[in-house]
Structure 1
Amino acid sequence: MQKVLEDQQLGAAIELAREAAGIEAEAASVGEHLEMAMEADRLATHLFTCLHPGYLGWRWAVTVARAPEQDEVTVCDVVLLPGPDALVAPPWVPWSERLQPGDLGMGDVLVTPKDDLRLIAGLTDEDDLETASSASPLNGFWELGLGRVRVLSVVGRDEAAERWFEGDMGPSAAMAKSATNNCSTCGFLLPIGGPLGQMFGVCANLIAPADGHVVAMNYGCGGHSEVTLEVSAPLAENATDELGWDHLDLSEPDLVITELVPNDLTGAGISAETLLATGAILEVTDTTDPADETGDGDTDPPAIDAELDVKEDEGDTDN
């Protein structure tokens, strides 16, 4: 990448940049000049210390530029940017990645993505215990005297089952009572063989509080595999016609007088406006057919019914 040479005119515009920063903020919050960085040809940024107590470590960045073959410098932008020692918020992390083991509490619900790689369709027979036991090194050729010296008795097994069932991972736990689904239908349940296989399993959900523990089939928590987010139907955008238009006729109808009571007012050249101005017409009513406004009716010119008031001559007392 070609190095941008320093511009002398832009480098000398420190006071111009300081004045621009003082206009954007209070002049007292603009401190000493730190440095100038060339952004491109005839484009540079001056950095000033921010003295505002709420933005310690931040810098005022004023970008200046000039046109080719011109010495006049113009201010382009004034922004407040964090410096190396500025106190800033940590990068945003999605909530699904912020969750840690132990965060799921009583009453909490953890949504499981539909494409979770830890889960697979049940019809694949991945949880078949017969296949798993045949691949186990403990299921080799059995010979008398090669096994364990002593094994768990029925009494010991029943005591363990009762202890697990009534413990924190059993159906009577507060977590299980607040859950809507139980472990028997959860995809994170790892089945176990033997006499206790129909009653217990092992939780394999990292976020669940029972991860790695033996849980009862009717235990439950908010980390059930079938807790998914229901996506509502997207709202359709408003169908706004911004290209078409409606024709609106704003022209005034011609005033036509169909009947005049006094014959001496029917002479040529007397319009309705003149009669209105002289007070001869008391009221003018537009009788235009509404159908004509839409173009569906007749095309004859609209008619105006005029009610005339003939002023009597003050000196005439015969009438």
Structure 2
Amino acid sequence: MPIVEGIDTRSLTRHLRMHGAMRACLAPARAGTVADDTDPGAWINGRTPGARAEAEYLSTLAKALPVLEEQELVEGVSTSALGLVDHDTWAPFAPPPQSPHAHRVVLIDCGVKHNIARSLTRRGLDTVIVPYHTSAEEILALQPAGVVIGNGPGDPSAAALATTVQTLRTLLDGPVARGRMALTAVCLGHQVMGLAIGAQTSRLRFGHRGANHPVRDVTTGRVYITSQNHGFQVDATTIPAASGFTVSHVNVNDGSVEGLAHRELPVFTVQYHPEASPGPQDNQYLFDRFVDSLETIR
């Protein structure tokens, strides 16, 4: 368990508030430095040469860490092959409404959480999971009524996700535009969808982490408590007017975009995690909304 001792934690909080999220390093003390000091508080404020040397060493390690924007994280957590999602018998919530038809949906795995897949199969959807780099042609060959782009780690503009962005553009311009496919996206998938419609993304000064973030539905004014874990956002001012998309949800704390929706087509996205595992259960209704959108597919 990491423990912080001997520093002004309030000062640290203020520093991060002023300068934003920063890289850090946590490591055991090396022999010959602070580890050998007889005074247990000697390392505080670099009171001894050993403590000062250790502080400089750890600072060097932290500065050498790659920034988040330079890391390709999705390829390390995505499935490597197409597969059918099992109908899990675990039931953490009351049985949800079932799809009246056995719709097939494709779940694009960017590091998706198990309970997102479970939330689809529990609604009677035949769910096929595919790697993040699956092409639109490969997805269309599966003949799905809908596609879900799941959550995952890292920067949505990472080079590895360029194929995913192009896949979504092809689907949006093809079967979705013709009313033959529904789309929804969660977290990283929401950000990738933003790029696919021509918007831009940026890193948040302070990432959203935790299970108590208030989000307001722009249409109804209702506020939902959401679970979030992301460091990037879709920039509202960059959403092309011609795309047909509007901001559907906003973060009550900082006003950032928490959801997108198309004015006419069955497409919507959310930045937060509706599957509630772990987290508040306010937003399971979004999966029901996706099922309803599948019923409109011709």
Using the size of structure 2 for normalisation, the TM-score is 0.19
More helix by share: 2
More strand by share: 2
Using the size of structure 1 for normalisation, the TM-score is 0.18
Q: Which has the larger radius of gyration?
A: 1
Higher relative contact order (CA 8 A, sep 6+): 2
